[in-house]
Structure 1
Amino acid sequence: MTATPSGTVASPAGDLNTSDKKRCPQLELAANWSGDNARLIQDAIDKYGRCSWKAGNPPQVRPYAVFDWDNTVIKNDISDQTIFWALRNDKILQPPGRNWHNTSRYMTVQGAVALRRACGSLAKPGKPLPTSTNLRCADEILSVRKTQKTTDGKAVFYGENQRYMQAMYAWVGQIMQGYTPAQLRAIAAEARDAALSAPIGATQEVGSSTETAWIRYYPEMNDLIRTLKRAGIEPWIVSASPKEFADVWGPGVGVDSAHTIGISQVVRNGKLTGHLKGCGGLPDGSDAIMPYIDGKRCFINQTILGVKGARALRPMPTSLRPVLAGGDATTDVSMVLDAKGVHVVLNRNKAELMCRAYDNADKRWAVNPMFIEPLPKMEGTYPCSTTAFTDAAGNPGPVRRANGSIIPDQEDTVFGLTQP
């Protein structure tokens, strides 16, 4: 047997005998995974998939798996590429009343003023902003997307619960208000086609900045998702990008829009508004939560399991949890932690997630370098015992296990080779 990254050895799946396991759908690209990761994943598929069902009948709760999208199923970010394409092609509309507060309940006065100064005189409300030629407007919007700050360094968002929301992620969809869902999917499809046709490493000019221009599907994740489907385990995409973006990209790995969870906006008179659909019965309104950290758990429980109200914010009993969950960043921590079969992590050096992954409390964490352009070894250690956790108010603190104990600082041990 091959040792896992933490030094433990994977155990065989359930009580399946050799002939049973031969009937289980197998990963075709198992050799591309690091260490014992393919075995951990295959064991979960064997244990919970159709080859272990009694008399071939699925359990009462159909087994399912959940995946983050950006930098988990693909390399790079669909929200980035869609916004880049929209800025280069004049697809962002002037907000109602030229008032940028209408794009986020969390926007600061400084943020709204900066955006109005840069873009407010360029188009009537609901009309396209000329961001392909007006670099000042394009740069201001891009600065908000990339840094959450104005071009002169002032904070643009304030006050969200940072275990439920990332206001800048939500803003990507909110600035596309005024389109119908079908129109936004069409924009996302144009951006997808451009990103997939661009060579790996290609860049593009957006405003006065040079930005990444390409995306690729990971063949290994495509293989994993298709293997899960053959095994009777339903794969779902759970993205912190707008749902319309994920709807367009999901079919590339065989996931349809009915199995896609993303940031969902309220539709009024057929058009997207700047308001978000909610979860968890939060008293401060639907705009206060999205698929982000604990919000991902909430939307999984609400959408897949039908759990309503505050209960959706809490972990479900083991029998109702996903078989497998995959992610790469802080936004995925709660979702990945909830998996009962295997926790799949692509290493992008995101501290809280990597603290839990390397701690490997249940010996079922499969940590893998990114399949394209993996990061080299991170210098030093992850500050798990001090600052790797971010609370609802944005304050740093230690990462704790379920029993309250603090995870010690962790070394980065699963990484790509430094290129010569």
Structure 2
Amino acid sequence: MALAVVSVIAVSGPASALASGPEERATARTVDASGQSGDCPQLSKKLAWYGDNRAKLQKMIDERGTCSGHHRQRPVAAFDWDNTVVKNDITDATLAWALKHDKILQPKSWRETSKWMTADAHRALTEACGTSVRPGKPLPTSTDTGCTDEILDVYLEAKTSDGKTAFEGEWNHRRTVPEYVWVTQLYAGIRPATLTEYAKRARAENLAAPIGHEQTVGTHKMAGYVRYYEQQKDLIRTLRKAGFQVYVVSASAEPIVRAWVDELDFDREHTIGIRNIVKHGRLTTGVQGCGDVKDGRGEVLTYIDGKRCWINQEIFKVKGADAWKKQDRAHRIAFGAGDAETDVTFVNDATAGHLAVNRNKAELMCRAYDNADRRWVINPMFIEPLPRKSGTYPCASTAYTAEDGTGEPVRRPDGTVVPDQEDRVYGG
């Protein structure tokens, strides 16, 4: 069923239409928390934010931007990408395009694509995709519905098409997810630049499709469009003008992310994604480690605590085991933005502001609604926002994902438990 096109966000605060066309940006005299004035770039008033979120973000920019004249060191801002800067998921979009265009290569053995793959999943993929295609050659997934469906079920559900578990074993659930890394390992044998080109073609297709469009891949219905959030584009540009160093930290494969970030002038230094190891110019199933975790098969991703590690290591040059630890204020981001559990650690680490795009993800929303430091900003999705979540977020019981995958209470830095929270910021 096609989703409805939403051009106005219905909220309990002031409602305004989403603007189109080039936004106007002005520089105005502002006052920071110390009472000192400075010239700081202003967020566009033509773009709709929930309630007084624009004012809250502007206050943070005025206070922490180098434009205020009080900061010798440039502050750092970090953004998740999927469903934070854009609507929908670029990993899903790229895989859908690759499957529709026969770009996935036959592996020597499906079992070798993931250290956690079960015998059931190996058997199901082998039977569905066959063995007639030689290893390293493209699978005919554009026409072989069974093969396509099996790949999508293993990725999207972590189960085979007949419901058997696809991944098993032990992993740190705050550092990796087998299916997240497996989708990057599907591109083994492809050159990084080639994968970026696939992502660019998927990007063009998804940007051209109307909002709400669904596509059929195999027999699966998947989102068939992606859009940049104009509010986030404006925020990123304004932060840069105010002196912030701005980074993307994504749980998508880095060659895929590169196809999208050029729109906002992110270079490679400021783009962090899952980094598969390259040998002889081609991607492999190996994945770069972080901190004191060596390169491996995906034991560490840019995922939950892994995003903190990569930020500490790549941006603040913290090495070894210390990269996993929360750093002092001088070595933490000033501003973080995300939409899901995968972002909660780094967004919570921010010292000046935290933006949560509400997709009803429990651990993130528990932190956001608890608002322990009074610096959280919560916004519905800018396109097709979710309605109010029924019931409460289970903050006091199971919303925190422990390393072994069990649910635990969300706790504040002092150890006190965050009480269950109602959903209070949502779309119509």
Aligned equivalent of 2:86: 74
User: Do the aligned partners of residues 319 and 199 (structure 1) sit closer, same or farther apart at CA in structure 2, a change above 3 Å counting?
Assistant: same
* Contact 1:31–1:38 (8 Å) recurs in 2: no
Give the C-alpha shift of residue 41 in structure 1. 1.3
One-letter code of the match for 1:195? N
User: In the alignment, does 2:52 pair up with 1:50?
Assistant: no
Alignment partner, residue 335 of structure 2:
324
Partner of 2:189 in structure 1?
178
For the 8 Å contact 2:287–2:296, the answer to whether it is kept is no
CA contact (8 A) 1:399 1:406 kept: yes
Q: Which moved more, 1:99-108 or 1:206-215?
A: 99-108
SS at match of 2:111: helix
- Deviation of 1:168 after TM superposition, in Å, equals 1.1
- How far residue 283 of structure 1 moved from its aligned partner, in angstroms, is 6.5
* Residues 122 and 129, structure 1, Cα contact 8 Å, conserved in 2: no
**Following the alignment from structure 1 to structure 2, what is the Cα–Cα distance between the partners of residues 122 and 28?**
57
Secondary structure, in 3 states, of the residue corresponding to 1:210?
Answer: strand
Cα distance in 1 for partners of 2:333, 2:297 equals 25
Q: Within 2, Cα distance between the matches of 1:369 and 1:65?
A: 20
Q: Please report how far the alpha carbon of residue 105 of structure 1 lies from its aligned counterpart in structure 2 after TM superposition.
A: 1.4
The amino acid that maps onto 1:13 is D
Gaps of 5+ in 2: 1-11, 14-30
1:130 pairs with 113, 123, 140, which one? Answer: 140
Q: Is the 8 A contact 1:250 1:257 kept in 2?
A: no
Shift of 1:276: 0.3
Amino acid at match of 1:76: N
Please state if 1:13 is matched with 2:32. yes
Question: What TM-score results when the alignment is normalised by the length of structure 1?
Answer: 0.92
How far off is 1:402 after superposition?
A: 0.9
4+ aligned runs moved over 4 Å, structure 1 = 283-286
Structure 2 CA distance for partners of 1:359 and 1:122, relative to 1, 3 Å: farther
Distance 1:325 1:217 in 2: 18
Distance 1:29 1:76 in 2: 25
Confirm or deny: 8 A CA contact 2:158 2:179 kept in the other structure. Answer: yes
Structure 1 residue 169 and structure 2 residue 180: aligned?
Answer: yes
Partners of 2:146 and 2:296 in 1: CA distance: 34
**Does residue 103 of the first structure (1) align with residue 113 of the second (2)?**
yes
AA at the equivalent of 2:155: R
Say if 2:100 is the partner of 1:88: yes
Choose which of 129, 147, 154 in structure 2 pairs with 1:144: 154
1:282 matched residue in structure 2: 293
Structure 1 residue 59 corresponds to structure 2 residue 72:
yes
What displacement does 1:59 show?
A: 2.5
Aligned length: 399
* Alpha-carbon contact 1:29-1:220 (below 8 Å) kept: no
Aligned to 2:425: 414
Cα RMSD (Å): 1.7
**Could you list the per-position Cα deviations for residues 254-297 of structure 1 after superposition, in whole angstroms to 9, with x for gaps in the alignment?**
22232110000001011110010010212794631010000000
The secondary structure found in structure 2 opposite 1:66 is strand
Question: Matched residues in 2 for 1:365 and 1:185: separation?
Answer: 34
Q: Specify the SS of the correspondent of 1:287.
A: coil
Q: Within 2, Cα distance between the matches of 1:29 and 1:181? A: 39
Aligned mates of 2:111, 2:414 — CA distance in 1: 42
Counterpart code for 2:101: N
The correspondence for 2:383, drawn from 372, 378, 390, is 372
Q: Which of 271, 294, 299 is 2:282 aligned to?
A: 271
What is the alpha-carbon distance in structure 2 between the residues aligned to residue 49 and residue 67 of structure 1? 17
- Verify the 8 A CA contact 2:158 2:167 in the aligned structure 1: yes
Once the 2 structures are TM-superposed, how far is the Cα of residue 130 of structure 1 from its aligned partner?
0.3
Tell me: CA distance 1:276–1:356, structure 2 relative to 1, closer, same or farther (3 Å).
Answer: same
Match for residue 8 of structure 1? Answer: none
Deviations 1:57-100 (A, max 9, x none): x634x3110000000000000000000000100000111x2x11
Identity value in percent: 50
2:351 to 319, 340, 347: 340
Question: Is 1:36 paired with 2:52?
Answer: yes
8 Å contact from structure 2 (residues 32, 68) kept in 1: no
Is the 8 Å Cα contact of residues 266 and 276 (structure 1) preserved in structure 2? Answer: yes
Asked if 1 retains the 8 angstrom alpha-carbon contact of 2:286 and 2:296, the reply is no
The structure richer in helix per residue is 1
TM norm structure 2: 0.90
Task: Name the counterpart of 2:23.
Answer: none
Between stretches 41-50 and 148-157, larger displacement belongs to: 41-50
On the 8 A contact 1:136/1:207 being kept in 2, the answer is yes
- Aligned pair partner of 1:388 in 373, 395, 399: 399
Runs of 5+ consecutive residues of structure 1 not aligned to the other structure? 6-11
Q: In 1, are the aligned partners of 2:355 and 2:376 still within 8 Å (CA)?
A: yes
Hey, what's the Cα distance between the residues in 2 that align with 1:102 and 1:234?
A: 39
1:171-320 equivalences in 2 (<5 Å): 171-282=182-293, 285=296, 287-320=298-331
Q: Which digits, 9 at most, give the CA deviation of each residue in 1:371-419, with x for residues without a partner?
A: 00000111110011111111111111111111111100000000001xx
- Stretch moving more, 133-142 or 388-397: 388-397
Spell out, residue by residue over 1:350-383, the C-alpha distance to the aligned partner (whole angstroms, 9 max, x if none).
0000001000000000000000000011111001
CA distance in 2, matches of 1:13, 1:412: 31
Distance 2:331 2:45 in 1: 29
User: Distance between the aligned counterparts of 1:31 and 1:402, measured in 2?
Assistant: 35
Measured in 2, the distance between the counterparts of 1:247 and 1:283 equals 24
Greater Cα offset, 103-112 or 213-222: 103-112
